[in-house]
Amino acid sequence: MNENKTDSKPAGAGKTNLGRREILKSLATLPVVGVLFYNVWKKLRRDALRKTNLLSDLVKEHKAPAVVSPKNSGKYLRIGIIGYGGRGQHLVRGAGFAAPDWVETAAANAKKNKLDKGFKTFMQQEDLNLSIVGVCDLFDLRAETGLAASKNEIRPGGKPIESAKRYKHYTEMLENDDIDAVIIATPDHWHAKIVIDAARAGKHVYCEKAMTRIFQDAIAVYDVVKETGIVFQLGHQNRQVESLDRAKEIVQQGLLGPINLVEVTTNRNSPWGAWVWTIHPEGNKRTIDWDTFQEPAPTKIPFGDEALKRFFRWRMWFDYGTGLSGDLFSHEFDAVNQVMELGVPKYVSASGGIYFYKDGRDVPDVFHATFEYPDKNLTLLYSATLSSNKNRGNIFMGHDATMQIGGAGDSNISGLIVTADSESTRYKERIESGIINTRYPIYSYTPGSKQIDGVTSATAKYFANKGLVYTYREGKRVDPTHLHIKDWVDSIRENRQPKCDIEVGFHESLACHMATESYLTGRRVEWDPVKRRIV
């Protein structure tokens, strides 16, 4: 060790003038700060250059869509709800009315888990200037809950202007001239008839997906909606999801190169996810109008235990529902249709089976389908299982790059990533020069990435990953279902068609029915657009 002692006296003790030595010692470390900042500047320049070289010349950055309009001052509307089950309740909440027990549970959840923002998101919804004036449900308890929701003052906008009256049958509701529009959230087998009757009665319609139970009904609904000119919205709330708008821009700008294969998937692994839902303890012959329920169903059975199962778990039977195709693929199809404007497929073939849930259902729990678009040089591939939660996401495979939406684990909720292809023509030079590394995304988009939400249950996560539960407007969390209802209500006031109108609804309906037809008949089916039939 050097035994020389350093000049450790407080600097300048005894001197009054600053010597050169003093200044040097005071500022001795300044060059190190300079080195750090020089390197930070170098890194920034490199990052900026990389970004320019990567995509900013290709991706035009758009700002997130604003919450459509700040305050809804349009005409006051009277809405009826037909079918106030789980989905119906969600739609009515999207319109601004929650049942008292939902409010209680949601508020309690928010207290228990600070990250649970369901209640807050609801209360921050825009007041749409409407009332729920009619409730129709075949199960008394649900109808009563609907009436209570219509009166509930705990809502965005406070005390409702009017409250609802109960209608035993939807036809009585349609006879009421004071009702401007109806939301239809019955099981699928009732959709077509109610949409047609409502349109003929001059009511605007929000119809839950799947649009119809069978193919022929889709044609009929299409024709009547066109003929009457009502404002029709199909319940694919993904149309409001911000990341899908991004995805569309990316595809339109040709960033992925030619796309010949798109793969979409469904993975669920719980009885709830497989539609084995709770049979309400108070559901019985007195509280349920079973005869009306099964009126349009091909198979009729007397009321009993089997009927109760079918009433509460109707998605498990083709008599009432549309199976994996209409129930879950329809979401994926509409998302791809939104991004790529596909239209009706030319050929469809499907396969699958009931491999896990041997519980008396007749809809498959493993299901795959291919949809051919020869004029677009594209195959859309769907693969679904209800006995594995492996989250595969949706993948758009282009010659130059791949875009994945969801599926990268919990960290990528409703976001998307674009990764260059190692054999890409478009990015060849950039890959060779090392500007693009095919192991890392060249573009990624995570809506609301600065916000944290606690999405807890596996099924909620499933929908969140698909972007169906929450979307973001200006960084604020919004329920797409609310935006979708709002889009419909705004369209009624502005006399325009909403985002998921009858045209795209028709595409979805046909694609799903063709897949089901192929599954049930075991052959490839073809769409004849001239004669409007499946051959």
Partner 1 sequence: MGNKAVPVSPEYTNYQLIGLTTLRVFIGWHFLYEGIAKMLNPYWSSAAFLLDVKWIFVGLAESIVSNPTALGLADNLNIWGLTLIGFALMLGLFSRWASVVGMVLILIYYFFTPPLVGLEYLKPREGSYIIVNKNLIEACALYVIYLFPTSNIIGLDRLIYRNQTAK
Q: CB-side exposure of 331: number of CA atoms within 13 Å?
A: 21
Collapsed DSSP state (helix, strand, coil) of residue 312: helix
Among 36, 108, 279, 301, contact with partner 1 (rule: CB under 8 A):
36
**At its nearest, how many Å lie between partner 1 and the CB of residue 394?**
23
49: exposed, middle or buried (C-beta count within 10 Å: 0-12, 13-18, 19+)? exposed
Closer residue to partner 1 in complex, CB, 4/73: 4
Q: With binding defined as CB under 8 A, does residue 3 bind partner 1?
A: yes
Q: With binding defined as CB under 8 A, does residue 29 bind partner 1?
A: yes
Closer residue to partner 1 in complex, CB, 30/68: 30
- Choices 183-191, 344-352, 446-454, 516-524; region in contact with partner 1 by CB under 8 A: 446-454
User: Which parts of 89-118 interact with partner 1 (CB under 8 A)?
Assistant: 114-115
d(CA 488, CA 181): 10
- Choices 20-28, 87-95, 209-217, 244-252; region in contact with partner 1 by CB under 8 A: 20-28
Q: With binding defined as CB under 8 A, does residue 158 bind partner 1?
A: no
Return the structure tokens found at 222.
Answer: 């299409």
Under DSSP, the state recorded for 66 is P
- Choices 318-326, 338-346, 353-361, 443-451; region in contact with partner 1 by CB under 8 A: 443-451
Closer residue to partner 1 in complex, CB, 15/439: 15
**At its nearest, how many Å lie between partner 1 and the CB of residue 37?**
9
Q: With binding defined as CB under 8 A, does residue 40 bind partner 1?
A: yes
List Cα–Cα distances, 236 to 54, 130, 159, 294, 487, in angstroms. 34, 21, 29, 25, 12
Looking only at the bridges linking them, the beta strands covering 525-528 and 533-534 are antiparallel
List Cα–Cα distances, 182 to 53, 169, 191, 386, in angstroms. 51, 13, 12, 32
Closer residue to partner 1 in complex, CB, 10/158: 10
**At its nearest, how many Å lie between partner 1 and the CB of residue 382?**
32
Neighbours of 370 (CB within 10 A): 19
- Choices 15-23, 135-143, 244-252, 327-335; region in contact with partner 1 by CB under 8 A: 15-23
Looking only at the bridges linking them, the beta strands covering 130-136 and 204-207 are unpaired
Cis bond leading into 210, ω under 30°? yes
Q: With binding defined as CB under 8 A, does residue 458 bind partner 1?
A: no
Q: With binding defined as CB under 8 A, does residue 6 bind partner 1?
A: yes
d(CA 340, CA 343): 9
Please choose, from the candidates 201, 211, 221, 524, the residue with its C-alpha nearest in 3D space to the C-alpha of residue 379. Answer: 524
Chain centre to alpha carbon of residue 2: 71
Under DSSP, the state recorded for 213 is S
**At its nearest, how many Å lie between partner 1 and the CB of residue 480?**
21
Closer residue to partner 1 in complex, CB, 451/457: 451
- Choices 26-34, 135-143, 230-238, 303-311; region in contact with partner 1 by CB under 8 A: 26-34
User: Which parts of 115-134 interact with partner 1 (CB under 8 A)?
Assistant: 115
Q: With binding defined as CB under 8 A, does residue 61 bind partner 1?
A: no
Closer residue to partner 1 in complex, CB, 5/531: 5
Asked if residues 11 and 26 have their Cβ atoms less than 8 Å apart, the reply is yes
- Choices 33-41, 324-332, 374-382, 388-396; region in contact with partner 1 by CB under 8 A: 33-41
Collapsed DSSP state (helix, strand, coil) of residue 528: strand
Closer residue to partner 1 in complex, CB, 44/161: 44
Among 20, 32, 390, 439, contact with partner 1 (rule: CB under 8 A):
32
Task: For residue 366, give every residue at least 6 positions away whose Cβ sits within 8 Å of its Cβ, in sequence order, or none.
Answer: 352, 353, 354, 355, 356, 384, 385, 386, 387
Among 66, 452, 530, 535, contact with partner 1 (rule: CB under 8 A):
452
d(CA 269, CA 150): 35
Closer residue to partner 1 in complex, CB, 188/242: 242
**Tokens 């051959």 found at:** 535
Q: With binding defined as CB under 8 A, does residue 25 bind partner 1?
A: yes
Among 63, 439, 450, 531, contact with partner 1 (rule: CB under 8 A):
450
Looking at this protein, which amino acid is placed at residue 378? L
Q: With binding defined as CB under 8 A, does residue 11 bind partner 1?
A: yes
Q: How many residues bind partner 1 (CB under 8 A)?
A: 34
Looking at this protein, which amino acid is placed at residue 340? M
CA end-to-end span of the chain, whole Å?
94
Among 9, 20, 112, 159, contact with partner 1 (rule: CB under 8 A):
9
Under DSSP, the state recorded for 280 is P
Closer residue to partner 1 in complex, CB, 293/443: 443
Among 20, 33, 425, 455, contact with partner 1 (rule: CB under 8 A):
33
Q: With binding defined as CB under 8 A, does residue 279 bind partner 1?
A: no
65: exposed, middle or buried (C-beta count within 10 Å: 0-12, 13-18, 19+)? middle
Q: With binding defined as CB under 8 A, does residue 20 bind partner 1?
A: no
User: Which parts of 219-278 interact with partner 1 (CB under 8 A)?
Assistant: none
Task: For residue 303, give every residue at least 6 positions away whose Cβ sits within 8 Å of its Cβ, in sequence order, or none.
Answer: 285, 288, 290
Question: Binding residues for partner 1, per CB under 8 A?
Answer: 1-13, 16, 18, 22, 25-30, 32-33, 36, 40, 44, 114-115, 446, 449-452
